[in-house]
Amino acid sequence: GIIVDITAQKQVEAALQEAERRYRTLVEQLPAAVYASAAVSVRLEDGEAVYPIYYMSPQIEAITGYTPEQHVADPSLWVRLVHPDDRDRVQAEIERTDRTGEPFRVEYRILHPDGRVVWVLSSAELVRDEAGRPLYWQGLLLDITDQKRAELARQEAEVRYQTLAEQLPAAVIVTAAQPVYLSSGDPDYPIIYISPRITEVTGFTPDEFRAIPALWFQRIHPEDKPSVAVEAARTDATGEPFKVEFRFQRKDGRWVWLENNAIMLRDQEGKPLYWHGLLTDITERKRSEMLLSGQLRILERIAQQAPLSEVLEQLCRLVEEQAPDLLASVLLLDQEGRLHHGAAPSLPPDYVAAIEGLPAGPNQGSCGTAAYLREPVVVTDTAVDPRWAAYRDLAQEYGLRACWSVPVFGSTGEVLATFALYAREPRGPDDREWTLIELATQLAGLAIERWREQEQLRYQAGHDALTGLPNRALFLDRLEHALARVSRSSRRLAVLFVDLDGFKLVNDLFGHQAGDDLLVQVGRRLQSAVRAGDTVARFAGDEFTVLLEDLQALEDAVIVAERMIQVLEEPFVVAGQGVRISASIGIADSRPGMTDPGALLLAADQALYAAKRAGKARYMVAV
C-alpha cells in the first residue's frame, strides 16, 4: 500500500467545498438583469459606441449600483462603468456585432459606485421583424463575480498542487504507463494499485476492477467514449497530464459524472513508470452547472417572448434532468377556479387528459388542494392519503405513488398555477428536490406573468377600450381571413354596417359619460343577437360592424338584422333616464366577385346610408 500525507489535499477539498457552496448560492439567487436597446449603436464624442436603452429591468441596480431609470436616461453610463482595462475588448465586440448582427456575448468588469469591481456576463441577440430588419437588441446581464472568484481559486489550487505526487479527493488509481488493446479495441491499463474509495465512486470493488479487463472504459457513456479515447491516446504519446470528464454507469445502473485526472511519473532517466490518477464524482457540480445554464436559457426564452407552453415544458425538463426519478407538471389556474394543462412532458398523456379541468378545492389531489389552500401540499402516498380519494385509482393505474404540489404566485399574490413533482414510490421530497421545486415555481411565475402581460397587450391592440368589442383592425383582419375561407367553399358570409339613430341627441342631452354607457349597452345587445362564432365590432364612434359567417343564403343575414333592430328598439337606461334609439343597417354579402374586404365594407356602408335616406330604423341590402 501507499501512505501519503494528505493534509494539503484535504485543505483543497475544503476550499472546493466552500466554492461549491458559493456556487449553489449563486444558482439560487440568479442575479440576471434583462435589457432592450437600440439595434444600432451611436458614437459619443470620444468615439466610443453606446446603445440607446429602451428598457432595463430592476435587477440592474443590484449589479451596477444604478437604477434602471438612470441607465435609460444616460446610455453612456454603461460605458463609463466598464473597467478601463476591458473597454477596448468590449468596444471591439460591439463593433463586430454591429457589423455582423451576430449574437453579442462578452465577460468584463464594471466599477461599482461603492468601490467594488464586479464581473458581469453580457449576452444579447438582435431581434428582427418579419422582413429581417433589425428592431432592437434583447439581452441579459448577469453578475458572475462569484464564479470568477471560484475560477481563480481553482486555478491557484491547480498551480499550487500540480506537483504533488498524489491527489486524494476520491479514488486513487495507479496503472501501467501504456495500455493493452483488447480485441474489441478498448484500451486496458493494467492496474498497479486502486484505493478502496473506488467502490464509493463506481459501485465496483477494487477486485472487480482488477478482474474485468477495461472495466473503466466499458462503462463510459457511448457518447463520451470517443473523446476519452482520443485524449488517452494523445497523453499516452506525449506524456502530458490526462484530464477528462465523462458519464459513467455505476454497478447499480445509475449514471454519474466523473472527472479523471492523471499524471505520468517517470524514472530518473525520464522513462515512463506509471500513470498516477484520481477519479472524482462531479455529478453535483455538473448538475449545478446544467441548472444554471438551464435557468439562463429559460430566462432568455421568456425575454424573447417564446410561447408559454414551450417555456413551461423547458422548465419541466430542466427539473427532470436534475431529478431523473421524478415527473414534473405545471397546471394553469383559470378565473373559474379550474386547473388546465400547462406542461407535463413525461406524464402519461391519458393521465394528463384525465385531470384536465381539475377544480381547485379541498381533497382535489395535490394540485387542486394546493391551489385552493394557497400553500404547498406534500402527499407521500397517493394510495392512502384522503386528499387523493377521488383520484386514487387513476394514480395507481399510472404508477404515481407520491405527488408534491406548490402554488405558483403572481407578483400581486394571486395563484397563477401549480407546479408538481410526481414520484413512482411513496416518499416525500428531500432538501435538494424541495429547492428545485422552489426554483421552478419562481421561474414559472415569471413566465406566466410575462405571458399574461403580452396577451393583454395583444388583446388591447385588437379590442375597443370602451365596449370590449373587437376594434376596426381586428374586424378587418377577421373579415380578410373569412373571405379567404369562403372562397374555398359553397357557404357565404355577410357584413352588416350598423349606425345608431338618435345617439347624438342622447350625447347632447345627458353628456359624454351617458353616451359611453349607451354604447356599452348597445354592444351587449348586438352580441346577444348573433351566434357565438360571429363578430360584432365597434368600427368608429357610434358605428358597429358585424361579420356573419357560414351562411346558407342572404336571408340568414336579413334575419339577424331584423333581430338587431328589434333588440335596439327596447328602451335603454342611461344617467338614470330611459331613452330610446334605433339603428339603420346596411347588409352586403359575399356574392360571386365580392371577395375584396374593402369593396364588401363599402357596399354595406352604401346600403346603410340608403336605409338612412329611406327613413332610418330599418335595413337595406346592397344591390
pTM above 0.95, yes or no: no
Is 505 within a domain? Answer: yes
Same domain, 530 and 572: yes
Same domain, 327 and 361: yes
Instruction: Establish if 213 belongs to a structural domain.
Output: yes
In a domain, 611, yes or no: yes
pLDDT higher than threshold 50 for residue 23: no
Tell me, what's the pLDDT at 21? Answer: 56
**Domain for residue 375, yes or no?**
yes
End-to-end CA distance of the chain: 105
Strand partners, 43: 49
Q: Are both 449 and 477 inside the same structural domain?
A: no
The domain that holds 327 is classified in CATH as 3.30.450.40
Query: Residue 332 has what pLDDT?
Result: 95
- Tell me what pLDDT residue 15 has: 61
- Quickly state the pLDDT bin for 27 (edges 50, 70, 90): very low
How much is the pLDDT for 420? 96
Per-residue model confidence as pLDDT tens digits over 85-118: 999 999 899 889 988 989 999 999 999 999 999 9
Q: Which amino acid is it at 462?
A: G
- CATH number for the domain spanning 615: value is 3.30.70.270
16 falls in which pLDDT band (50, 70, 90)? low
Domain contains 537: yes
The C-alpha atoms of residue 414 and residue 417 are separated, in whole angstroms, by 9
Structural domain contains residue 523: yes
- What are 531-544's pLDDT values in tens digits? 988 999 999 999 99
Answer whether residue 71 is part of any domain.
yes
Query: Largest Cα–Cα distance of the chain, in whole Å?
Result: 116
CATH assignment of the domain containing 212: 3.30.450.20
On whether residue 7 sits in a domain, the answer given is no
- The pLDDT, as a whole number, for residue 461 is 82
The full DSSP string for 312-375 is HHHHHHHHHHHSTTEEEEEEEE-TTSEEEEEE-TTS-HHHHHHTTTEEPSTTSHHHHHHHHHTS
Task: For residue 23, give the amino acid letter.
Answer: Y
Say how many domains are in the chain: 4
With a pLDDT cut of 90, the percent of the chain lying above it is 57
Q: Choose the final residue of a domain: 147, 174, 199.
A: 147
Domain boundary among 112, 147, 182: 147
Give the integer Cα–Cα distance in Å for 618 and 565.
Answer: 7
- Verify that 333 and 376 share a domain, yes or no: yes
Q: In what order do the strands lie in the sheet with 415-423?
A: 358-359, 338-343, 326-333, 415-423, 402-409, 377-379
**C-alpha Rg value of the chain to the nearest Å:** 34
In terms of domains, do 453 and 396 share one? yes
Q: What distance in Å separates the CA atoms of residue 600 and residue 612, rounded to the nearest whole number?
A: 19
- Tell me how far apart the alpha carbons of residues 473 and 326 are, in angstroms, rounded to a whole number: 47
- Assess contact for 538 and 519: CB atoms under 8 A: yes
Same domain, 392 and 420: yes
Q: Where does the pLDDT of residue 31 fall: very low under 50, low under 70, confident under 90, or very high at 90 and above?
A: low
* CA dist., res. 190 & res. 406, Å (int): 53
Q: Which domain holds residue 584?
A: 472-621
C-alpha cell at 245: 470528464
Residues 346 and 316 in one domain: yes
Q: What is the mean pLDDT of the chain?
A: 88
**Helix and strand counts by DSSP (H, E) for the chain:** 21, 27
Q: Are residues 408 and 486 in the same domain?
A: no
Q: Helices 308-322 and 283-303, interaxial angle, to 10°?
A: 170
Q: Which of 417, 433, 457 is the last residue of a domain?
A: 457
**Are residues 412 and 529 part of one domain?**
no
Mean pLDDT of the 433-457 span: 90
pLDDT tens-digit series, residues 485-508: 887 777 889 999 999 998 998 888
Please indicate, yes or no, whether residues 125 and 244 belong to a single structural domain of this protein.
Answer: no
444 and 316 fall within a common domain: yes
* Residue 453 and residue 356 share a domain: yes
- Give the model confidence (pLDDT) of 583-603 as tens digits: 999 999 987 766 789 889 999
